[in-house]
């Protein structure tokens, strides 16, 4: 059997929805034993994200975030259930939650409580806005973080309406930052023997994502917008759309014009360099739109690549999932069959030659591992007695 990097690491997972579960799924994929604590009868809220799955058993949203985990369903209002969790925490390496500040403390599972019983514990927290400050108790959610952090206001074209980005950027980014923090804390524990608290927030992750733009504003009071560069854009073709990035070359405009089979606009003074092109961006973009509309996406991809201009077709997600590159990259995993059909999941973007991700456990049914986990605790308690 392949040894995975996190074999032997036990994670107690209080998380739900996306920020926390996408973090703990990475830990589970790479060998950690992840015990997911869920509410009895209800479970993780993502079990109920789609109305088309009324029993919540095989909800694609839940399945996408919870493979390779074990589910322990408990009523944490009950003292015996809290005692069970405390016994697990005494044996854990990591505990993860994405509640608002104060929730874990009210249950007796705050960092200060737990480090007394398990000084080696890594206590990982994901919040909306941070553990302190004026927004600490504000409900955190991906769309709110997009809005408050400035991400939602950023557009490649100011004529476009301000809108919500359709993929949860903040949840995924914060989840991956939480993975990084946990791994760093585990490495530090190897040196010091002590655990620590690790915290991330949706808000901080969105600010961090804008590191280039933010630093440019802080140092030069200028706006940096890669999507608004004059030779970059999305253009409709006769059958679809193409995205082009005219950059990283001495004279990309000349090469674009060659591909489009039009005169070399870079010969004109008002298009001679980047600043001149930025000043006349609407004109250039209109010229590009008119010409790209005359032929197919495949035609223009071939023409642009022949002169080494970066470009790609603009595709739908189903098209991307069918792509041969997606299959070769092992980005689709099979996790068994259910009455509703096969469980097919998005794989890990990390490719390790000696630690390949596989589905060791399908996304668990609610409370599926109660008997196994409780029996293991009874054995430990018996040994101690």
The answer to whether residues 144 and 152 touch, using CB atoms and an 8 Å cutoff, is no
Cβ neighbours, 10 Å, residue 376 = 14
Q: Would you say 32 and 9 are in contact if contact means Cβ atoms under 8 Å apart? A: yes
Whole-number percent of the chain with pLDDT over 90: 91
Question: Token pair for residue 11?
Answer: 């994670």
Residue-wise pLDDT tens digits, 250-273: 999 999 999 999 999 999 999 999
| 114 and 262 in a common domain | no
Residue 224 falls inside a structural domain: no
| Co-location of 376 and 291 in the same domain | no
User: Two tokens at 93?
Assistant: 């390496």
Burial of 263 from C-beta contacts in 10 A (0-12 / 13-18 / 19+): exposed
Residues 280 and 350 in one domain: no
CATH number at residue 287: 3.30.1540.10
Which of 31, 34, 100, 35 has the alpha carbon at shortest distance from 74? 35
Mark whether 17 and 114 lie in a shared domain: yes
Q: Which residue has tokens 């206001």?
A: 153
Question: What distance in Å separates the CA atoms of residue 326 and residue 349, rounded to the nearest whole number?
Answer: 11
> How large is the average pLDDT for residues 84-107?
95
Residue 287 lies in a domain: yes
147 and 76 in a single domain? The answer is: yes
Q: Are residues 98 and 176 in the same domain?
A: yes
Whether 340 shows a pLDDT value over 60: the answer reads yes
Percentage with pLDDT > 70 across the chain = 96
pLDDT at 365: 94
| Each residue's pLDDT tens digit, 7-35 | 999 999 999 999 999 999 999 999 999 99
> What's the pLDDT at 56?
65
Residue 379 — very low, low, confident or very high, per pLDDT cuts 50/70/90?
low
Q: Indicate whether 2 belongs to any domain.
A: no
Pair 239, 268 in one domain: yes
Q: Residue 381, class by beta-carbon neighbours within 10 Å (0-12 exposed, 13-18 middle, 19+ buried)?
A: exposed
Give the pLDDT confidence of 28-80 residue by residue, as tens digits.
999 999 999 999 999 999 998 877 666 667 889 999 999 999 999 999 999 99
Residue length of the chain: 385
Residue of 45, 72, 37 whose CA lies nearest to 367:
72
Model pTM score:
0.94
In which band, very low, low, confident or very high, does the pLDDT at 329 lie, cut at 50, 70 and 90? Answer: very high
* 200 domain residue, yes or no: yes
User: Do 310 and 328 belong to one domain?
Assistant: no
Residue where a domain terminates, one of 291, 315, 339: 315
Structure tokens, 335: 């996790």
Cβ contact 377:91 at 8 Å: no
Task: Note the pLDDT of residue 53.
Answer: 67
Contact residues for 139 (Cβ-Cβ < 8 A; gap 6+): 100, 128
Q: Check pLDDT > 70 for residue 119.
A: yes
Mean of pLDDT over the chain:
94
C-alpha closest to that of 71 among 2, 16, 136: 16
User: Is pLDDT above 80 for 339?
Assistant: no
Side by side, the strands of the sheet bearing 69-74 are 69-74, 33-39, 10-13, 94-97, 122-127, 196-201
Q: What is the pLDDT of residues 292-317, one digit of tens each?
A: 999 999 999 999 999 999 999 999 99
Predicted pLDDT at 55: 64
pLDDT-based confidence at residue 380 (cuts at 50, 70, 90): low
Tell me how many domains the chain contains: 2
Q: Average pLDDT of 134-143?
A: 94
Q: Looking at the structure, do residues 133 and 266 belong to the same domain, yes or no?
A: no
- Structural domain including 152 reads 10-212+324-383
Average pLDDT over residues 148-162: 94
Domain ends where: 276, 297, 315?
Answer: 315
Q: Please name which of 81, 93, 132 lies closest in space to residue 367, comparing C-alpha atoms.
A: 81
* 136 part of a folded domain: yes
Tell me, yes or no, whether 289 and 342 share the same domain: no
Whether residue 109 is predicted with pLDDT greater than 60 in this model: the reply is yes
* Closest by Cα among 78, 86, 71, 87 to 33: 71
The residue among 315, 349, 364 that closes a domain is 315
Tokens of 227: 């999507």
Residues 246-250, mean pLDDT to the nearest whole number:
95
Q: What's residue 359's pLDDT? A: 96
């Amino acid at each position: 059997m392949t040894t995975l990097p996190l074999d032997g690491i036990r994670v107690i997972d209080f998380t739900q929805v996306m920020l926390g579960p996408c973090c703990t799924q990475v830990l589970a994929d790479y060998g950690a034993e992840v015990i997911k604590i869920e509410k009895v009868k209800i479970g993780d809220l993502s079990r109920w994200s789609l109305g088309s799955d009324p029993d919540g058993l095989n909800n694609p949203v839940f399945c996408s975030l919870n493979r390779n985990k074990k589910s322990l369903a408990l009523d944490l209002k009950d003292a015996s259930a809290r005692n069970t969790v405390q016994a697990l925490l005494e044996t854990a390496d990591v505990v993860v939650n994405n509640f608002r500040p104060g929730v874990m403390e009210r249950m007796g599972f705050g960092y200060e409580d737990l480090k007394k019983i398990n000084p080696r514990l890594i206590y990982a927290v994901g919040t909306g806005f941070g553990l302190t400050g004026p927004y600490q108790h504000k409900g955190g959610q991906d769309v709110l973080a997009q809005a408050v952090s400035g991400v939602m206001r950023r557009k490649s074209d100011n004529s476009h309406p301000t809108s919500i980005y359709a993929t949860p950027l903040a949840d995924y980014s914060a989840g991956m930052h939480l993975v990084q923090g946990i791994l760093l804390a585990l490495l530090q524990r190897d040196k010091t023997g002590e655990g620590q608290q690790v915290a991330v927030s949706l808000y901080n992750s969105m600010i961090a994502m804008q590191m280039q733009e933010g630093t440019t504003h802080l140092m030069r009071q200028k706006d940096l917008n890669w999507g608004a560069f004059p030779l970059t854009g999305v253009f409709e073709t006769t059958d679809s759309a193409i995205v082009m990035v005219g950059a990283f070359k001495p004279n990309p405009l000349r090469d674009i014009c060659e591909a489009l089979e039009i005169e070399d606009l870079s010969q004109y003074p008002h298009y001679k360099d980047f600043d001149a092109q930025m000043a006349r961006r609407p004109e250039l973009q209109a010229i590009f739109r008119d010409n790209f509309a005359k032929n197919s996406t495949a035609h223009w991809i071939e023409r642009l690549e022949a002169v080494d201009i970066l470009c790609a077709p603009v595709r739908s997600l189903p098209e991307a999932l069918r792509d041969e590159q997606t299959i070769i990259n092992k980005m689709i995993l099979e996790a068994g069959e259910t009455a509703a059909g096969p469980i097919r999941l998005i794989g890990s973007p990390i490719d390790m030659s000696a630690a390949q991700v596989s589905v060791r456990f399908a996304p668990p049914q609610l409370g599926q591992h109660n008997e196994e986990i409780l029996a293991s605790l009874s054995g430990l308690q018996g040994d101690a007695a």
